[in-house]
């Protein structure tokens, strides 16, 4: 058996155990918890992707009337709140249906894009956090590339999230 099959087998067994847990049964059987987690996931998506895409578009030259640094200061806390809400609600939703999700190729793509989006955001903050003031005219090429990738990653996460139910 190859390493990929072993990893998949281990992951499937872990997901089945998670899904068989009492906590998972409570999530699926609750009248309110699962629907509220679903609503929280949608709210988190809005709070995360909206501000990130707005800032990324500004870095790419859209809406030059707004300062990149000021926009970043205003929108980053909203995006972080959205990310926290997304992760918390996503973990609940995952727990309720873990076996089907780990077997779903679209979920795997979503998870990979999520990791890439978070890594890109962390790298962006570490590299540029204290240097955004001069970006109103012509941001560095790497910053523009990171902004473009950010849009691809986060919209990909959102699109895959909606498509999971169809695959």
Q: What is the pLDDT of residues 57-100, one digit of tens each?
A: 999 999 888 999 999 999 999 999 999 999 999 999 999 999 99
Q: Decide if 164 contacts 110 (C-beta within 8 A).
A: yes
CA atoms within 13 Å, Cβ hemisphere of 140: 10
pLDDT in tens, 106-154: 999 999 999 999 999 999 999 998 889 889 888 999 999 999 999 999 9
Distance CA 52, CA 46 (A): 10
pLDDT in tens, 7-45: 578 989 999 999 999 999 999 999 999 999 999 999 999
* Whether residue 2 has pLDDT greater than 60: no
Helix locations, the chain, DSSP H: 3-19, 22-29, 33-59, 68-96, 98-103, 105-128, 141-163
């Amino acid at each position: 058996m190859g390493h990929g099959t072993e990893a998949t087998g281990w992951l499937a067994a872990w997901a089945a155990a998670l899904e068989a847990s009492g906590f998972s049964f409570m999530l699926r059987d609750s009248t309110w918890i699962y629907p509220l987690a679903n609503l929280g996931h949608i709210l988190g998506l809005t709070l995360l992707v909206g501000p990130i895409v707005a800032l990324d578009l500004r870095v790419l030259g859209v809406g030059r009337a707004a300062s990149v640094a000021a926009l970043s200061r205003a929108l980053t806390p909203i995006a972080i709140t959205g990310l926290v809400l997304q992760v918390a609600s996503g973990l609940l939703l995952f727990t309720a249906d873990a076996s089907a999700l780990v077997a779903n190729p679209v979920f795997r793509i979503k998870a990979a894009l999520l990791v890439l989006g978070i890594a890109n955001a962390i790298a962006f903050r570490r590299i540029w956090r204290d240097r955004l003031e001069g970006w109103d005219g012509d941001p560095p090429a790497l910053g523009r590339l990171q902004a473009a990738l950010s849009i691809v990653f986060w919209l990909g996460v959102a699109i895959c999230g909606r498509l999971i139910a169809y695959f």
